[in-house]
Amino acid sequence: MSEEILMNITPMESRVALVENGVLQEIYIERSCSRGIVGNVYKGKVVRVLPGMQAAFVDIGLERAAFIHASEIAPRNDKNGDDQNEISIVGLVHEGQALVVQVTKDPLGTKGARLTTHISLPARYLVLMPHNNHVGISLRIEDEEERERLRTLVEGCLEQESRQEQGGFILRTAAEGIGEEEVRADILFLHRLWSSIEESIRETRAPAVIYEDLPLPQRTMRDLVNPDIEKIRIDSQETFQKVHKFVKKLVPQVDGRVEYYPGERPIFDLFGVEDEINKALSRKVQLKSGGYLIIDQTEAMTTIDVNTGAFVGHRNLEETIFKTNLEAAVAIARQLRLRNLGGIIIIDFIDMEEPEHQRQVQRAFDKSLEKDHAKTNITGVSDLGLVEMTRKRTRESLENVLCESCPTCSGRGTLKTAETVCYEIFREILRAARAYESDGYRVLASESVVDRLLDEESNNVADLEQFIGKPVRFQVEPIYSQEQFDVVLV
């Protein structure tokens, strides 16, 4: 499989695209005016404790207070972070207390950032957990011999360290196949980083930021680059030099794959990324067979409906449905990554009668989700035949980053018909006729509504004028939406 990373950098925003076999799979966007804060470490101040929710609000210097649950707070006398579900939030924190926290989720919509006191600091191959002594290994490394080799390697390096408090480590997926030199370098880097953070914690007053994660281009090199990546193309000379320096220090094995793209044609246009981003904002996703998906994102959950559309198949209905669902399973997994959809996701595949077809579609969906960097969990098929799953959400979806609710329909996605608005106008005129004395009425409304009042509703307008005994005149207001109108006394 051919994989490339494309970086489009401007002073206003940085965009990173992960492309597999020429098809966009993931897009990351970071704007200079609203950088993501996941991974940042803050010294915050507890401003409110909520015993009923077993949670607290913490001021970390942002517009909205951040939220932390009791399960995310390490007990003061327990450095191993043992389970403290039975400990009340009141016994863990109090108002006015300074608390060192890390952001696990960006502010989403009206919700503040989510926090934890279980700090974790990532490097290229290892993640340091300062308040833990456990050595863990990524579940994506499946070979048992390799897992045991890596665990022994880390434990051996830690034994040679003279530090009393070394902390725990997790080996990342990228650690597969690495040697002692790389492990030792990461451990040394992370220990130095934590020492500087501890010093800042002692010297800084809350609320304040203690540590900020890397900018998007460097973060990409740390987290997304793997042996399958063939090229990393960057269209900014300045960013290319920074990334090149970062790579030589931390990821030297991919140094030769980083290229500067000097072309006049925008890099995202050249590789068709802009078109794919625009398609990802559409509610409808067309499948190659002629079928299609309908994706509806709401605050509570995301629903995905699979339809055969124009695909009529060649053999029988069951085979047509099976092929559509099989193609949809792959397409849905890609759309989840591309749109960065998180939370609860409900998928309505077309009903299949053959159990073997159901199993094949399930396997195809599971296999397609294997490359997803976000944690996913499929709970199975409900009694209604719906596939229920969750996908970890740490940042805003693509739609929320690039779009806002329509000011005309307020995000409903529908408008009242011109006919409905006409009848609302009639009712408003009747209310005004009963409440006020006037010589007549002028209705200000959009062109589509006025046209209907003068055409299809002309008989009803005449009956209304006869009933109230006053004339009614109409005036088009170009700036009014279809639902807006005013009734003016004359």
Neighbours of 64 (CB within 10 A): 13
Torsion over CA: 188, 194, 198, 204 (sign): positive
Q: What is the topology classification, in CATH, of domain 41-211? A: OB fold (Dihydrolipoamide Acetyltransferase, E2P) (2.40.50)
DSSP for 15-64, written as a single string? EEEEEETTEEEEEEEEETTB---TT-EEEEEEEEEEGGGTEEEEE-SSSS
Report pLDDT for 174: 83
DSSP 351: P
What the block records as the tokens of 127 is: 């993640």
Cis amide prior to 207 (ω within 30 degrees): yes
Contact 58, 101 (CB under 8 A): yes
Helix or strand (DSSP H, E) at 152:
helix 144-160
d(CA 243, CA 258) in angstroms, rounded, equals 8
Report pLDDT for 81: 45
Domain with CATH 2.40.50.140 in the chain: 41-211
Contact 287, 293 (CB under 8 A): yes
- Residue 23 backbone dihedrals phi, psi, to 5 degrees: -115, 130
CATH number corresponding to 418-489: 3.40.1260.20
> Which are the contacts of 127, defined by CB distance < 8 A and separation ≥ 6?
120, 121, 169, 170, 172
pTM of the shown model: 0.80
Domain with CATH 3.40.630 in the chain: 281-402
Domain with CATH 3.30.420.60 in the chain: 3-35+215-274
Identify the segments of the chain with pLDDT beneath 70: 1, 76-86, 162-165, 310-315
Report pLDDT for 185: 86
Task: Report the Cα–Cα distance between both ends of the chain, in Å, rounded.
Answer: 73
Report pLDDT for 334: 95
Question: If DSSP codes are grouped into helix, strand and coil, which group holds residue 415?
Answer: coil
d(CA 209, CA 450) in angstroms, rounded, equals 57
Summarised one tens digit per residue, pLDDT across range 173-217 is 888 888 888 888 888 889 889 999 999 999 999 899 999 988 999
Report pLDDT for 75: 76
> Which are the contacts of 352, defined by CB distance < 8 A and separation ≥ 6?
318, 321, 322, 325, 358, 361
Report pLDDT for 85: 52
The single residue listed with the structure tokens 């399930």 is 362
* Helices 317-339 and 355-369: angle between axes, nearest 10 degrees: 20
Report pLDDT for 10: 93
Question: Which architecture, in CATH terms, is 281-402?
Answer: 3-Layer(aba) Sandwich (3.40)
Q: Pick from 300, 317, 299: which is nearest to 308 by CA?
A: 317
Question: Which architecture, in CATH terms, is 3-35+215-274?
Answer: 2-Layer Sandwich (3.30)
d(CA 87, CA 98) in angstroms, rounded, equals 19
Domain with CATH 3.40.1260.20 in the chain: 418-489
Report pLDDT for 77: 53
Query: Which pairs count as long-range contacts for 114-119, CB under 8 Å and 24+ apart, including other chains?
Result: 114/66, 114/67, 114/68, 114/72, 115/42, 115/44, 115/58, 115/60, 115/66, 115/67, 115/68, 115/72, 116/68, 116/72, 116/73, 117/68, 117/72, 117/73, 117/74, 118/72, 118/74, 118/81, 119/41
Summarised one tens digit per residue, pLDDT across range 404-416 is 888 888 888 889 9
**Amino acid symbol at 392:** K
Report pLDDT for 86: 62
Report pLDDT for 80: 47
The single residue listed with the structure tokens 């501890």 is 198
